[in-house]
Amino acid sequence: MVTITNLHKKFGKNEVLRGVDLNIDQGGIFAILGPNGSGKTTLIKCILGMVLPDAGSISVFDKNIKKNPDYRHKIDYLPQIANFPGNLKVRELIKMIKDLRKPTTEDTRLIELFKLEPFLDKKLGNLSGGTKQKVNIVLTFMFDSPLIILDEPTTGLDPMSLIRLKELIHQEKNKGKTILITSHIMGFVEEVSNEIVFILEGNIYFKGTIPELKEKTGQPDFEHAIASILKENHA
């Protein structure tokens, strides 16, 4: 599904990715974790073609993305911060995205699921952060793409919406999709993820299941396992 080989990226003198090798198979939920500045957001943006690496290669759906930009049509992406035009109404934004991409009726189900009906004729600039995030989720999941990338998807969500998001993620996984998630909420990561990819100082420190991570670190639970990695590498 996604194969990354010897990926390097610098911003000025700051070497963010230092020869990353990563293989993500089709089907399953993969959490990409790491402290701030570890390179996880840069890695995701390289996969999306939003950042060009200095060296190395990325293949998505068995094709090198450098020569095949059309692969992006098969990815649904939820950005950490969605900069919507404030003067547009929710209904208008959803229609605009559908017109740009392809027809779908899935938005109707998602609007109902996240209780967005009362907000459809409100301007995006007047919405709370949590409601904007629900709109963001609808825009991400209303197309049936095989690869979904979610950058901090839980931001601003109330407990009921968080439950619905988790159910939605599992439904998509059960269709055989591949889902990449970044999150600082360890409880959420533990609940939804099949595998963890932990990035540290521009390299893959660990890739595997949560039980394997606990065994590697000798810790009784997931949060302490993550904390021990950070403590060990900042001692």
**How does pLDDT run across 144-195, given as a tens digit for each residue?**
999 999 999 999 999 999 999 999 999 999 999 999 999 989 999 999 999 9
Q: Is 125 within 8 Å of 86 (Cβ atoms)?
A: yes
**How does pLDDT run across 61-81, given as a tens digit for each residue?**
989 998 888 898 899 999 987
- Domains, the chain, in order of start with CATH, read 2-232 (3.40.50.300)
Whether the predicted model's global pTM rises above the 0.75 cut: yes
Q: What is d(CA 44, CA 36) in angstroms, rounded to the nearest whole number?
A: 14
Q: What is the mean pLDDT of the chain?
A: 93
**How does pLDDT run across 35-63, given as a tens digit for each residue?**
888 899 899 999 999 999 999 999 999 89
Place of tokens 């407990």: 159
Q: pLDDT band for 134, please (50, 70, 90 cuts).
A: very high
Per residue, what are the HEC states of 134-197? HHHHHHHHCCCCCEEEEECCCCCCCHHHHHHHHHHHHHHHHCCCEEEEECCCHHHHHHHCCEEE
pLDDT score, position 15? 93
Q: Is 60 within 8 Å of 71 (Cβ atoms)?
A: yes
3-state helix, strand, coil in the chain (%, to 5): 40, 25, 35
Q: Is 125 within 8 Å of 87 (Cβ atoms)?
A: yes
Share of the chain above pLDDT 90, in %: 83
Q: pLDDT band for 230, please (50, 70, 90 cuts).
A: confident
Greatest alpha-carbon span in the chain:
53
Q: pLDDT band for 234, please (50, 70, 90 cuts).
A: low
Question: Is 235 a residue whose pLDDT tops 70?
Answer: no
Q: Which two tokens stand for residue 164?
A: 């619905």
